Structure 1
């Protein structure tokens, strides 16, 4: 059984293309001479079609141009133990897959040493990052990207919301991205989110010695696979791309890392007090 993040992304793309044409599975099956059960398993990611089968489906659905190319990038290496997107089309599909996992998550663990985690960012904080020199984001895309990132909060506000464990490095609180006032409002927002029942926010102070968090940021997402089991992925990002891991050993390693970081973090109450004190100092600083 496949069900890798890339297989799920491919299946979702095929299902979306079919539904947009208002074609039923049985109609598509008859048109390309494929069993409806096979098509269904392809769309759920339980099985992976060969690239030629993907091309056949897309041709039948009149999918052309850039979209055809984007979906075809998902048809290769679908069962590999990691998903490293190196081209822009595949990066777009990977981001779509990540957002889908996040929306359906039961639990999210996010460690962010230098920036406020994306799901907890305010719109002004996001805009400041996206419009800063060197961000290299076209002005025409800023508004839509802000909306997409703000939309990630749906994972925390939906019916049966995900539980979020946010482990935030002390340095992330003092960057003053967008200026002092933007940062103050961002810190206030963190305090508001920390009061939610499904959000546990902990600050990881400096000078705690070595811990796995010093190796960089990561996000661990757990989603229901069956009523009694979970599927998990780990996303590790850098400036150019994101690596998605799903093998049991990899996920277990990052789960262990998150527990070690949790062990050197401040409890929720002390974390909230830490943020409140920082807000007070920033509001009263006259340098």
Structure 2
């Protein structure tokens, strides 16, 4: 099957990661399993969806854990089909892994976050405070905080993702974790806004109705295909149908029109740093 979807890209990224972890080139692995290396290339880019039997064949000569093997094989179940929509915790963990893989392969990401700091810009104390308030188990909190902090690497790596963060002004007034946590979070926003690949824009609360009031979204552009990740406290979903994604893409320029300039946004955040009163 030839189809770029969030699932196929995530599966391809996992296959690439386990191959690299085994220190094998595509050509070397292709030779071991008796296929042309271009087939592995298309699998790993998400341009082609390998069958379960093909994935078993690819993994056979690789040194990987049983858990990794099981997770990868689970991803072969309808990898080019319906969007990833999950509610149960084990499924949410699998989708979080898929989100990480897709972000790693992305060229551009746009986040509209009217209620909290976007995940790619959160500091660990801020993330932890949110999860503790949700009364998650400590082990789950530790894992998810570590994953979220790891996700931030796409912004500072070589050839970083182009990231546009659209943040609701009300977010700056939400004291999550206390003044010290917010001071650290604001300092991090200012630091990240200095990166050439990061555009941080505050959307004023007094703007009136705008497209973003339909809800938060995380738009990911990867290998010529766009996906939207939506999440709330009990469920999350990848939206990949072109007609649906187009609606979210159309919201971005409208949000940018009503947002403060990058310079003004910096000033507003810097003011919040001063008003936290934390030395």
Aligned equivalents of 1:64, 1:146: Cα separation in 2: 23
Partner Cα separation in structure 2 for residue 39 and residue 163 of structure 1? 27
Show the counterpart of 2:29.
Answer: 24
List runs of 5+ in structure 1 lacking aligned partners: none
Which residue of structure 2 lines up, in the alignment, with residue 79 of structure 1? Answer: 80
- 1:11 and 2:12 equivalent? yes
Number of the residue aligned with 1:204: 203
Pairing partner for 1:252 from 246, 249, 258: 246
May I ask how many residue pairs the two structures share in their alignment? 273
User: Are the counterparts in 2 of residues 194 and 201 from structure 1 also a CA contact under 8 Å?
Assistant: yes
Q: Aligned in 2, Cα 1:51/1:160: closer, same or farther, shift over 3 Å?
A: closer
Judged with a 3 Å threshold, the aligned counterparts in structure 2 of structure 1 residues 105 and 53 are, in CA distance, closer, same or farther, namely closer
- Partners of 1:268 and 1:24 in 2: how far apart? 47
CA distance in 2, matches of 1:279, 1:118: 20
1:115 Cα deviation after fit: 0.4
Call closer, same or farther: CA 1:161–1:36 in 2, change over 3 Å: closer
Alignment match, 2:167: 168
Give me the TM-score of the superposition, normalised by structure 1.
Answer: 0.81
> Which residue of 1 is the match for residue 236 of structure 2?
242
Alpha carbons of structure 1 residues 272 and 63: separation in structure 2 relative to 1, 3 Å: closer
Deviations 1:106-138 (A, max 9, x none): 222111111011111112212222222x331x3
Give yes or no for contact 2:130–2:176 (8 Å, CA) kept in 1: yes
1:202-231 CA-to-partner distances (Å, cap 9, x unmatched) read 1111132222211211111223x3xxxx33
Query: Which whole-Å CA distance do the structure 2 matches of 1:150 and 1:211 have between them?
Result: 31
Matched, 1:150 2:149: yes
SS in 1 for 2:276: helix
Answer yes or no: is the 8 Å Cα contact 1:155–1:162 preserved in 2. yes
Aligned-pair CA distance for 1:170: 1.4
In structure 2, the gaps of 5 or more residues are: none
- The SS at the match of 1:24 is helix
Change (3 A) 1:163 1:15: closer
Deviation of the 1:187 alpha carbon: 1.6
Partner of 1:276: 270
Do 1:81 and 1:245's aligned partners in 2 also have CA atoms closer than 8 Å? no
CA distance in 2, matches of 1:19, 1:202: 37
Partner of 1:135: 135
SS at match of 1:108: strand
Deviates more, 1:159-168 or 1:46-55: 46-55
**Match 1:267 to one of 214, 237, 261:** 261
- Give the secondary-structure state (helix, strand or coil) at the position aligned to 1:207: helix
- In structure 2, the CA distance between the partners of 1:28 and 1:204, relative to structure 1 (3 Å rule), is same
CA distance in 1 between counterparts of 2:43 and 2:217 reads 29
1:194 Cα deviation from its structure 2 partner: 1.9
Distance in structure 1 (CA, Å) of the matches to 2:176 and 2:233:
17
Change (3 A) 1:269 1:144: same
Q: Secondary structure at the match of 1:210?
A: coil
Higher Rg: 1
Q: Is the 8 A contact 1:219 1:234 kept in 2?
A: yes
**Partners of 2:14 and 2:269 in 1: CA distance:** 42
